[in-house]
Amino acid sequence: MTIFSHSTLWRGLGVAALVCATGSASALTVYTAGPGDLINELASGFEAETGIKAEVFQANTGKVMARLEAEAANPRADVVISASWDSALDLQQRGWLLDYQSPHAAKVPQLYKGPGYVAQGLSALAIAWNPASGTPRPADWKDLAQPAFAGKVNMPDPSQSGTALELLSGLQAAQGEEAVWALFGQFKDNGMAVAGANAQALNPVLQGAKAAVFGAVDYVTYAAQAKGEKVEIIFPSSATVVAARPVMILKSSKVPDEARKFVDYILSDKGQAAVAKAYLIPARTDVAAQRPGLSDIQALPPAGDAERAGREALLQRFSELFARP
């Protein structure tokens, strides 16, 4: 498997601008997918503690990985934070990662770390439901195929959202191909819309134009809820995907010592408190979450090699069903 086995996910994606000012000669460069507020807080806290500036490129996972590939001949990134566990496995397999285990990683479950990567935090995929929508409160994925939800459900596009693709893949592995594609056929017939990346799928639900999101990223929805939005996060009774968000150091880094210190900071008490503040589940088991934790979520088994290898074909089948370009 190569890092770009999900080529359709990343095809045609542009590159956003760097968001931090130029730093000193010892500055490190961080490419990150995830909440902008979180990386800004981590970067400023790290500089305050160490005196080292972190220049940040923040985008979605597809754009981050596209940039890494474009710069393969002349790498710029030192640390990469992804929203897709697959990206860490692929980079490790390609030999791009520097093996490093922070002392703080001792408190991270073995499932969420490897030789050159460790989870920064975790999120789960859920149903985001607007209780003012006039629809019955859903308890499981299949409820969104009911007539009451006709034309009222959004799903993030798996070609733009790695977590949406993980959910589709995980459901097929758990429930079987026939059952899952029958369900998605019902969703299509019921008028489910495939609506861009995660925020694009959620916004119409917050605005009342749609009733629910199938496969909403929970921390994004909790953040909206904290701002006063009338939305409920429902973890399906039949289980969902828990997505670990890996942080890793590239072997090509010219400042590996600074990069190690940054990983240490992310996994420190202060760093994990910032992760919790962003409504992610902290990777360290001894740091409390500010939302339901792993024990409150019925999680699907982690993906195996065969499941990950089949995702490109899965994405193609989904695109054909929903007439995606």
The fraction of the chain above a pLDDT of 70, given in percent, is 91
So what's the pLDDT on residue 276? 97
Q: Which of 274, 283, 261 is nearest to 112 (CA)?
A: 283
Based on C-alpha coordinates, what's the Rg of the chain?
Answer: 19
Q: How many whole angstroms separate alpha carbon 163 and alpha carbon 254? A: 31
**Model confidence at 1: pLDDT above 60:** no
CA distances, 158 to each of 12, 61, 84, 105, 169 (Å): 15, 12, 12, 31, 10
Is residue 232 within 8 A of residue 238, CB to CB? The reply is: no
Residue type, 248: M
Q: How many whole angstroms separate alpha carbon 313 and alpha carbon 89? A: 19
Q: How many whole angstroms separate alpha carbon 81 and alpha carbon 131? A: 34
Question: Residue 227: beta bridge partners?
Answer: none
So what's the pLDDT on residue 324? 66
Higher-confidence position of 69 and 303: 69
Please tell me whether residue 111 adopts helix, strand or coil conformation: helix
* CATH number of this structure's domain 7-122+244-296, picked from the four choices 3.40.50.2300, 3.30.530.20, 2.30.110.10, 3.40.190.10: 3.40.190.10
So what's the pLDDT on residue 15? 37
31 is in an annotated binding site: no
Is residue 235 within 8 A of residue 141, CB to CB? The reply is: no
pLDDT digits (tens, 9 = 90+) for 245-278: 999 999 999 999 999 999 999 999 999 999 999 9
Q: Which of 303, 316, 11 is nearest to 170 (CA)?
A: 303
Confidence of residue 325 (pLDDT cuts 50, 70, 90): low
Average pLDDT over residues 78-104: 95
Which pairing describes strands 193-194 and 54-59: parallel, antiparallel, or unpaired?
unpaired
Question: Residue 80: beta bridge partners?
Answer: 31, 248
Q: Judge residue 256's burial from the number of C-beta atoms within 10 Å of its C-beta, 0-12 exposed, 13-18 middle, 19 or more buried.
A: middle
pLDDT digits (tens, 9 = 90+) for 279-319: 999 999 999 999 999 889 999 988 888 888 888 899 999 99
So what's the pLDDT on residue 317? 95
pLDDT digits (tens, 9 = 90+) for 25-56: 468 999 998 888 999 999 999 999 999 999 99
Average pLDDT over residues 190-198: 91
In the CATH hierarchy, which top-level class contains the domain 123-241+301-321?
Answer: alpha beta
Residues of the chain with CATH 3.40.190.10: 7-122+244-296, 123-241+301-321
